[in-house]
Amino acid sequence: MRIRFLILGSLASLCALALTSACSSSSDNGGGSGDCNSVATTACSKLQQCSPLAVKLSYGDEQTCVTRTAMSCTVGTTAPGASVTPAQFGACATAFSQVACKDLVSGNFAPAACTNKGSLANGKACGSSEQCQSGYCGASTSFCGTCGALGAAGATCTSGDGCESGLVCNSKGVCATPAAAGGSCTDMRDCAAGLVCTSGTCAQPVAAGGTCTGGDCDQLAGSFCNPQTKVCETIQTADNGQPCGVVNGGYVSCTAAGHCSIPQGQFRGTCQAHAADGASCDDTNGPTCLSPALCLNGKCTLPDPSSCK
């Protein structure tokens, strides 16, 4: 059972939390220790504690995070070749409650407690890592992928979850040990969790109000570098129909996976609500989908690992 927090590249969509774990559906609201809903409740509660802005931008509120994350978890239960036990759920939930925030948002946490390997051999089609004997499904951008081995140090990679525990997929596309504070870097992918790459060196992020050069602000705390003032400022949020983008000299992002529709040549637009499951979508121009739904063939589609052949 592997649970991942995927923090998307831009601060405008600070995170998309995707829990991809094999478990059973349940109506329990967090009191149990062996079902999807209890694990999702623990996961979303922890993310709310670590980065309230992440929850707001990705889901709108914590309860929606729980509902959608439990859906993603349930998908793993029905995936061909996947299996899980109640005891594994309890262990993973405990691991979630103890993980450091910097490790949570980087996806670097408790791999032993939150990983469940399946029965599919390397080379078999998959839609989730829980199906594979190796514990890793190298999924393509269209969702389906192939079971394969995690990359050891020096192996080529395209994303961090393709490397063995403790390694990152660095700026050169190679699995490597992340650099500590003071180590050299090209971008944030080279640095250990919680650090930023500034002037070629891994360092602690700049807090709100501090002077910045670009991507060196504390994104976990919801700060961005104002390109005009070169000062770390707290990102603001807006609901559907409200102004977004560059507003009054600051940056405003849309809540609940909304899309900021900005006219060509301008910097200010209007928030567009996410599309419902099954509705039309466009990842570039909006509307976008609410995780775990993906925009596949122009429609918000809930992942179905059994469709991967």
On the question of pLDDT at 128 being above 60, the answer is yes
Distance CA 212, CA 229 (A): 9
**Percent with pLDDT over 90 in the chain:** 49
| Mean of pLDDT values over 187-203 | 92
Confidence (pTM): 0.82
Distance CA 150, CA 167 (A): 10
Q: Enumerate the domain spans of the chain.
A: 4-149
| Mean of pLDDT values over 113-138 | 88
Q: What is the pLDDT of residue 84?
A: 73
What is the torsional sign of CA 58, 175, 117, 103?
negative
| Band (36; pLDDT cuts 50, 70, 90) | confident
Q: What is the pLDDT of residue 18?
A: 30
The b-or-e profile of 117-152 (16+ CB within 10 A means b, else e) is bbebeeebbbbbbbbbebbbbbbeeebbbbbbebbe
Alpha helices in 51-184 (DSSP H): 52-58, 62-78, 86-98, 101-106
On the question of pLDDT at 20 being above 70, the answer is no
Contact 249, 233 (CB under 8 A): no
Distance CA 26, CA 90 (A): 14
Q: pLDDT (tens digit, 9 = 90+) per residue, 88-123?
A: 777 777 877 888 888 776 666 655 777 778 999 999
Q: Supply φ then ψ for residue 306, to 5 degrees.
A: -70, -15
- Tally Cβ neighbours within 10 Å of residue 254: 30
> Between these two residues, 306 and 278, which has the higher pLDDT value?
278
Q: pLDDT (tens digit, 9 = 90+) per residue, 48-92?
A: 998 899 899 999 999 999 999 888 888 776 789 988 776 777 777
Distance CA 178, CA 222 (A): 23
> Between these two residues, 166 and 286, which has the higher pLDDT value?
286
**Percent with pLDDT over 70 in the chain:** 85
Give the angle 264-265-267 at the CA atoms, nearest 5°. Answer: 95
Q: What is the pLDDT of residue 109?
A: 60
- Tally Cβ neighbours within 10 Å of residue 162: 20
Which range (14-28, 59-73, 189-203, 295-309) has the least confidence? 14-28
Tokens 């499951």 map to which residue?
Answer: 277
Tokens encoding 50: 């670590």
